[in-house]
Amino acid sequence: MKKIMAILISVLILISGCTKMSTGPEREEQGENKGAIVENIGYDDLENIEVGIIKGEVRPVSSLNRTIANASFVPQDENKVEFEYQPNQDDQIIQLIDSKGWEWTFSFPKYALTRNTQITFTPLSKIQLDSLPDLELSGFLMEPDGLEFLIAPTVTIKKENESTEAFLLSSAHDGSGVVFHPASSREGQLQAKIPHFSAWYNLPEK
């Protein structure tokens, strides 16, 4: 875990440094846009959600909310799972196993969408981040790509006899723009809200 955190912190420091190195015109432009605010719709109480502990200090995931890499992967189409979400039914549960044996349980609340929708989960293998090639990840490609929920479903990730301390990451459907996603450990399980469909990854503690 210390090795993973050291790598991630180094990358984030480099990104942060590059972001701050702006010249006169850029600074003026940034000043003009100072009032712009971008909100993450669908996240519950973002400020109180924790991503992990580094040297005894709690680091909220919002401080890591920036692109850290691009991902490549191989979809396991032969293991694709489909189901139809029906908005007028109470909580709909689906359980999946990813390519590394982690169990993902999705809970879709009533009226998360306005109409019946065919949903697809495709396990991903050989996931690799271009800037962090030594990390071992697992995950799913969730479709329809870009599907947004009125009420975000919840995902719980766990694996028997393994630590569930982990990070949750997401990216665009093609693997570009990997970012950390708000998640928390509760009762030995990693839990998070999934406000939209794209590619989602689990980075377990090692």
User: Which residue segments constitute the domains of the chain, with CATH numbers given?
Assistant: 1-206 (2.60.220.30)
What is the pLDDT at residue 205?
A: 75
DSSP-assigned letter for residue 63? G
Report the distance separating Cα 191 and Cα 154, nearest Å.
7
Q: How far is CA 195 from CA 78, 81, 152, 180, in A?
A: 26, 20, 5, 14
Token output for 206 = 């090692």
Q: What is d(CA 166, CA 96) in angstroms, rounded to the nearest whole number?
A: 18
**Parallel/antiparallel/unpaired status of strands 92-97 and 81-85:** unpaired
Q: Is the per-residue pLDDT at 79 higher than 60?
A: yes
pLDDT at 165: 76
pTM of the model: 0.70
CA distance 156 to 19: 34
- Quick one: average pLDDT of 66-80? 94
Query: Where would I find the beta strands (DSSP E) of the chain?
Result: 50-54, 57-60, 71-75, 81-85, 92-97, 103-108, 117-129, 138-143, 154-158, 166-171, 179-181, 184-186, 189-193, 199-204
pLDDT at 185: 74
Does residue 175 or residue 36 have the better pLDDT? 175
Above 60 in pLDDT, residue 11? no
Mean model confidence pLDDT for the chain: 77
Please state which of the ranges 45-59, 138-152, 153-167 shows the lowest mean pLDDT: 45-59
Please check the confidence at residue 35 and state whether its pLDDT lies above 80.
no
Q: Considering only CA atoms, which of 83, 102, 80, 79 is closest in space to residue 92?
A: 83
Q: Who wins on pLDDT, 58 or 185?
A: 185
Cβ contact 177:171 at 8 Å: yes
